[in-house]
């Protein structure tokens, strides 16, 4: 026992400089990551800015019940889950398709230029994306509407049309993130043992058979992992995108939990309510991540933490 | 290709390769058309008559740089570029200064309390309490109307820290041990041995932070209401959301170019620093991302 504490002491002494080195980062971390967790208690209070966090009166679960009973509750849950699930259903297959096509392509110039251009939009902000979308979708001078007019149709105000809006959100997200999401699949593809393909070719398998019998099954663990990781963040439907693209006429199909939190909390000053919704989302998200991590451990051989 | 391998391509294989190439060409078109249409829109002359399709095919010698001249000659635009540049530099420096020691600490396997510290870092990553509690903190700290309000809340990203930690863990233990035996302090080990070997990861993580700060409009919208401190994305957003010439004063002040050209030109200018750095850093981020995704 004594020897153990002595050993621990010497290990601590040996690493003193490491703790010292990281102390500023740790102090930052406590201040910027843990104080907000402490502040989250106002979800259970009737927060008054003048009283501060600790002196605002407790109200129990009132903020939570206000949210669950509000007219918007189911609409927000529906929109949020819809966007995150369908974004996954659009962008994961697109990314798999793109990575397999890049992997099979024998023309270096084509492969390189698609790769370079496909990663690029990931680095563009949604403010910039909005301008690009305007150039395509604007009723007065967008290309898509030009084509519609050429074909004799009426121009469609895509961004303010409740029918078109969800498509714009899903397709623009796919366009922006497809290449970036393909990187992880490409990494998995490069790791496939080439002797598998040689053996298949000798056996007389066609290129199509190689893709469906070797390539795709080989990256299945990665696909499962990506899908499960996305399921863990199902309540994050992409604030920046929706916030940049939406407007009053499409609120009913566009509003997600995060945009609602922003409007209630920052614009309407309903801090308690907005925090309660944020906390609801945080707790639910934590549970989902725990579940998806357990499933990842079960179906693949690695975990998130 | 087929002859080199000594195996003849069957008909099915030729169809396969043709469809792979056709798919990639289609994807290339889908990627290029929106970007090209935005670029050509920014060069559209004021007297241009015709459809957007005509505009995309307009000969370069008929392009007009009026939109760019208007933007680059406008004080509000230049001020916001300068603010964004400051946010970028201060933000990346602060973020790396805070992230590197934390990642280094977590990468030392013999460190007492490593599990506890790792948990401490992971909890806020997995449990996100949302907007308002953070808003209360930043306002309480008196950061409102400072550029630090834009980058301080995100100056340590747990995700980036974990990627960096994996990289540090991959550096051979013997290198660090031999330096320690020679009596080097941990700071010396970090500065003399770890960091010189970590250029790819520093560039990648620096890029992630930099892009994030350069693009951020949300923190700026929350915490900055002084016009003189507005970063570029806020100005862009104001320009983009104004639908007519008279709706937004700033746009009205831009003069002789078509409003759509001004909008397109402003985002193109905002994207230029990223486009310039992109090819240079591309080779690093692919490596960095793979590392992060494989090891977590």
Q: Which of B38, B153, B279 sits opposite A131 (nearest CB)?
A: B38
**DSSP result, chain A:** -HHHHHHHHHHHHHTHHHHHHHHHHHHHHIIIIIHHHHHGGGGGB---TTTHHHHSPB-TTHHHHHHHTSTTHHHHHHHHHHHHHHHHHHHHHHHHHHHHHHHH---HHHHHHHHHHHHGGGGS-HHHHHHHHHHHH-TTT-HHHHHHHHTT-----GGG-TTTHHHHHHHHHHHHHHHHHHHHHHHHHHTS-HHHHHHHHHTT--HHHHIIIIIHHHTHHHHHHHHHHHHHTTT---HHHHHHH--GGGHHHH--HHHHHHIIIIIS--HHHHHHHHHHHHHHHHHHHHHHHHHHHHHSS----
pLDDT tens digits for B139-148? 999 999 999 9
Residue A78 lies in a domain: yes
Per-residue pLDDT band for B291 (boundaries 50, 70, 90) equals: low
Per-residue pLDDT band for B44 (boundaries 50, 70, 90) equals: confident
> What structural domains does chain B harbor?
2-67 (no CATH), 69-295 (1.10.3720.10)
- If you average pLDDT over every residue of chain A, what do you get? 90
* Whether A302 contacts chain B with CB within 8 A: yes
Give A-chain residues touching B278 at CB under 8 angstroms: 120, 123
Round to whole Å and give the CA distance between A165 and B213: 28
Instruction: Tell me: pLDDT of B253 over 80.
Output: no
Instruction: Tell me: pLDDT of A274 over 80.
Output: yes
Q: Which of A113, A128, A286 sits opposite B126 (nearest CB)?
A: A286
Residue A134 lies in a domain: yes
CB pairs under 8 A between A and B: 278
Q: What is the pLDDT of residue B294?
A: 43
* Whether B206 contacts chain A with CB within 8 A: no
Give A-chain residues touching B28 at CB under 8 angstroms: 110, 113-114, 117
Q: Which of A131, A285, A305 sits opposite B267 (nearest CB)?
A: A131
Instruction: Tell me: pLDDT of A3 over 80.
Output: no
Domain count, chain A: 1
Mutation target for B interface from A22, A117, A180: give the one with most B CBs within 10 A.
Answer: A22
Instruction: Tell me: pLDDT of A187 over 90.
Output: no
pLDDT tens digits for A100-158? 999 999 999 999 999 989 999 998 999 999 999 988 998 877 888 888 888 988 888 89
* Whether A266 contacts chain B with CB within 8 A: yes
Residue A140 lies in a domain: yes
Of A152-156, B178-182, B292-296, the range with the lowest mean pLDDT is: B292-296
Mutation target for B interface from A36, A63, A129, A240: give the one with most B CBs within 10 A.
Answer: A36
Residue A243 lies in a domain: yes
Average pLDDT over residues B147-155: 96
CATH number of the domain encompassing residue A100: 1.10.3720.10
Residue range of the domain that includes A196: 62-299
* Whether A249 contacts chain B with CB within 8 A: no
Does B281 or B198 have the greater pLDDT score?
A: B198
Residue A90 lies in a domain: yes
Per-residue pLDDT band for A301 (boundaries 50, 70, 90) equals: low
* Whether B52 contacts chain A with CB within 8 A: yes
Q: What is the pLDDT of residue A100?
A: 96
Give B-chain residues touching A238 at CB under 8 angstroms: none
Give A-chain residues touching B260 at CB under 8 angstroms: 134-135, 138, 140-141
Hey, which residues 62-91 in chain A have their CB within 8 Å of chain B? none
Residue A21 lies in a domain: no
Hey, which residues 189-208 in chain A have their CB within 8 Å of chain B? 201, 206-208
- If you average pLDDT over every residue of chain B, what do you get? 85
* Whether B277 contacts chain A with CB within 8 A: no
Across the interface, do A127 and B260 touch by the CB < 8 Å criterion? Answer: no
pLDDT tens digits for A61-91? 999 999 999 889 999 999 999 999 999 999 9
Residue A50 lies in a domain: no
Give B-chain residues touching A284 at CB under 8 angstroms: none
Hey, which residues 143-172 in chain A have their CB within 8 Å of chain B? 143, 145-147, 149-150
Per-residue pLDDT band for B181 (boundaries 50, 70, 90) equals: confident
pLDDT tens digits for B226-235? 989 999 999 9
Across the interface, do B122 and A305 touch by the CB < 8 Å criterion? Answer: yes
Q: What is the pLDDT of residue B290?
A: 56
Measured CA angle at B277 (ends B273, B280), to 5 deg: 170
ipTM score assigned to the predicted complex: 0.89
Hey, which residues 220-239 in chain A have their CB within 8 Å of chain B? 239
């Amino acid at each position: 026992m004594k020897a153990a504490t002595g050993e621990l002491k010497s290990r601590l002494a040996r690493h003193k400089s490491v703790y010292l080195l990281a102390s500023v980062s740790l102090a930052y971390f406590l201040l910027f990551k843990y104080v907000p967790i402490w502040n989250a208690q106002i979800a259970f209070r009737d927060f008054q800015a003048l009283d501060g966090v600790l002196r605002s009166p407790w109200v129990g679960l009132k903020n939570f019940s206000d949210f669950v009973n509000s007219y918007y509750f189911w609409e927000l849950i529906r929109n949020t889950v819809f966007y995150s699930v369908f974004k996954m259903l659009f962008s994961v297959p697109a990314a798999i398709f793109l990575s397999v096509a890049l992997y099979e392509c024998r023309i270096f110039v084509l492969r390189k230029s698609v790769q370079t251009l496909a990663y690029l939009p990931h680095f563009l902000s949604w403010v910039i994306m909005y301008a690009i979308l305007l150039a395509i979708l604007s009723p007065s001078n967008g290309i898509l509407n030009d084509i519609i007019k050429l074909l004799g149709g009426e121009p469609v105000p895509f961004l303010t049309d409740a029918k078109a809006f969800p498509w714009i959100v899903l397709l623009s997200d796919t366009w922006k993130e497809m290449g970036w999401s393909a990187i992880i699949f490409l990494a998995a593809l490069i790791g496939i043992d080439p002797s598998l393909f040689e053996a298949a070719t000798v056996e007389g398998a066609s290129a199509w058979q190689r893709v469906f019998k070797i390539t795709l099954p080989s990256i299945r663990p990665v696909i499962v992992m990506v899908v499960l990781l996305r399921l863990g963040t199902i309540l994050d439907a992409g604030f920046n995108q929706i916030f940049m693209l939406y407007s009053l006429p499409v609120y009913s199909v566009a509003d997600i939990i995060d945009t609602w939190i922003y409007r209630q909390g920052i614009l309407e000053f309903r801090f308690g309510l907005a925090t309660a919704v944020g906390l609801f989302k945080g707790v639910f998200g934590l549970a989902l991540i725990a579940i998806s991590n357990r499933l990842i451990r079960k179906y693949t051989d690695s975990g998130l933490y | 290709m087929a002859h080199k391998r000594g195996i003849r391509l069957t008909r099915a294989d030729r169809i396969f390769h043709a469809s792979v190439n056709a798919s990639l060409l289609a994807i290339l078109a889908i990627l290029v058309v929106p970007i090209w249409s935005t670029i050509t829109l920014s060069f559209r002359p004021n007297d241009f008559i015709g459809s957007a399709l005509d505009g995309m095919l307009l000969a370069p010698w008929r392009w007009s740089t009026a939109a760019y001249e208007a933007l680059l000659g406008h004080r509000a635009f230049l001020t916001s570029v300068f603010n964004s540049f400051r946010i970028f530099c201060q933000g990346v420096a602060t973020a790396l200064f805070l992230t590197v020691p934390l990642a280094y600490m977590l990468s030392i396997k013999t460190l007492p309390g490593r599990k506890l510290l790792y948990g401490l870092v992971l909890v806020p990553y997995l449990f996100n309490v949302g907007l308002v509690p953070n808003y209360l903190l930043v306002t309480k700290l008196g950061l409102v109307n400072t550029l630090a309000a834009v980058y301080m809340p995100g100056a340590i990203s747990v995700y980036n820290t974990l990627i960096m930690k994996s990289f540090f863990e991959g550096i051979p233990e013997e290198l660090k041990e031999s330096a320690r035996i020679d009596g080097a302090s941990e700071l010396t080990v970090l500065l003399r041995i770890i960091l010189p070997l970590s250029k790819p990861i520093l560039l990648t993580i620096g890029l992630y932070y930099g892009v994030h700060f350069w693009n951020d409009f949300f923190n700026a919208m929350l915490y900055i209401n002084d016009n003189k401190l507005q970063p570029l994305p806020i100005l862009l957003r104001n320009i983009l959301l104004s639908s007519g010439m008279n709706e937004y004063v700033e746009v009205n002040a831009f003069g002789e170019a078509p409003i759509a050209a001004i909008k397109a030109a402003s985002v193109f200018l905002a994207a230029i620093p990223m486009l310039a750095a992109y090819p240079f850093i591309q080779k690093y981020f692919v490596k960095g991302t793979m590392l992060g995704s494989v090891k977590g």
